[in-house]
Chain A
Amino acid sequence: MKKAFFTIVTLFILTAVFAFSLPISWKIADKYSISFSTSGVSGIFKTFTGSLVFDEQSLPASKFDVSIDVNSINTGNGMQNKHAKSAEWFDAPKYPSIKFTSKRIVKTATGYAATGDLQVHGITKEVTLPFTFKRNGSGGVFEGFFNINRNDFKIGAPGGEVGEVIKVLVSVPVVK
């Protein structure tokens, strides 16, 4: 009887500890913004989906698995949009998504850094994306600013009027 009691108590404590250490699975709220800019062109991606599992107290268990719809690109100009989706640039019919899957998330001096596989234009490369997370009541906001070299993913020809280093600004409000 005594043994069974201790077993139940131990199981209860383990369950409680495990439950508290589980990172939160955040839902992407409206009004997120995925914008990019370089010399000659700037714009946004309007469709962003995926799962954001994150907890400041449980970084090893945190994980991002997100996707951007290439066809949702909007540069503000119809001809530029068509051009961006063409085979010369993103080749949207063949590669309709930009994907990022994190492998590890670590704390940094300024916030956090997610290292993972970024797949753009059918090419996958390991990148580290710095970001911050600010809690706001029952929700929060992920924000990140980083540079991507389009030549690494063979997007467009090197040089030309469009800059090679693309500044990407991500702001994703989330709710539980």
Chain B
Amino acid sequence: MFKKSLLLGAVSGILAGVASLIYQKVYAKSLGVDFATVAKPLSIIIVSFLSGIIAAVGFWLLNKWLKNKGEIVFNLLFTILSFASIAAAFAAKLPFDVDMPELFPGLVVPMHFFPALAWFTLKPLFIKNYEPYKKVFP
């Protein structure tokens, strides 16, 4: 279980990082502002990967402690924490030579949701839970 959740965390983290980089390129091209000096591509990949790993550890611990309710609590926590983390994007203070800092949250706020989105998307591929079906179709 731990290995599977760790693998899910790593893959979803990398996927979130790649999605963030694609979004960054699209954002820079469409709005004409480039925050690559502030939100560095390597940093985005590392942070996304780490958030996936932390999520994996959290998922494993919650499932261990709360058994069947672990996943429900984990999903709620992951979503709430992702939502709460956008406050950091609005509070970020950029270097003074970076133009239009008011467009910075528009870039990074979606990125804060990508790890959760990737996790929820990939989770059925890594951790299969057929228990409810077994009850209906034993």
Binding site for B on A (CB under 8 A): 35, 43-44, 74-82
| In the complex, residue of chain A having the shortest beta-carbon distance to the beta carbon of B103 | A78
Given contacts A75-B93, A75-B101, A80-B93, 6 further A-B contacts (CB under 8 A): A76-B93, A78-B103, A78-B105, A79-B90, A79-B102, A81-B101
Is A74's CB under 8 angstroms from B96's CB? yes
User: Which residues of the other chain, A, contact B96 by a CB distance below 8 angstroms?
Assistant: 35, 43-44, 74-76
User: Which residues of the other chain, A, contact B105 by a CB distance below 8 angstroms?
Assistant: 78
B104 within 8 Å of A by Cβ? Answer: yes
B91 within 8 Å of A by Cβ? Answer: yes
What are 20 inter-chain pairs, A to B, with CB distance below 8 A?
A: A43-B96, A44-B96, A74-B96, A74-B99, A74-B101, A76-B94, A76-B95, A76-B96, A76-B101, A77-B91, A77-B93, A77-B94, A78-B101, A78-B103, A78-B105, A79-B90, A79-B102, A80-B93, A81-B102, A82-B102
User: Which residues of the other chain, B, contact A77 by a CB distance below 8 angstroms?
Assistant: 91-94, 101
B98 within 8 Å of A by Cβ? Answer: yes
| In the complex, residue of chain A having the shortest beta-carbon distance to the beta carbon of B92 | A77
User: Which residues of the other chain, A, contact B92 by a CB distance below 8 angstroms?
Assistant: 77
With both chains docked as a complex, state the minimum distance between the C-beta of B102 and any C-beta of chain A, in angstroms: 3
How many Å lie between the Cα of A77 and that of B38 in the bound state? 13
Which 10 residue pairs spanning A and B have beta carbons closest together?
A: A78-B102, A76-B93, A76-B94, A44-B96, A78-B101, A77-B93, A74-B96, A76-B96, A77-B101, A76-B101
How many Å lie between the Cα of A76 and that of B92 in the bound state? 8
| In the complex, residue of chain A having the shortest beta-carbon distance to the beta carbon of B98 | A76
How many Å lie between the Cα of A24 and that of B93 in the bound state? 40
How many Å lie between the Cα of A74 and that of B94 in the bound state? 9
How many Å lie between the Cα of A81 and that of B93 in the bound state? 11
User: Which residues of the other chain, B, contact A81 by a CB distance below 8 angstroms?
Assistant: 101-102
| In the complex, residue of chain B having the shortest beta-carbon distance to the beta carbon of A82 | B102
How many Å lie between the Cα of A28 and that of B66 in the bound state? 67
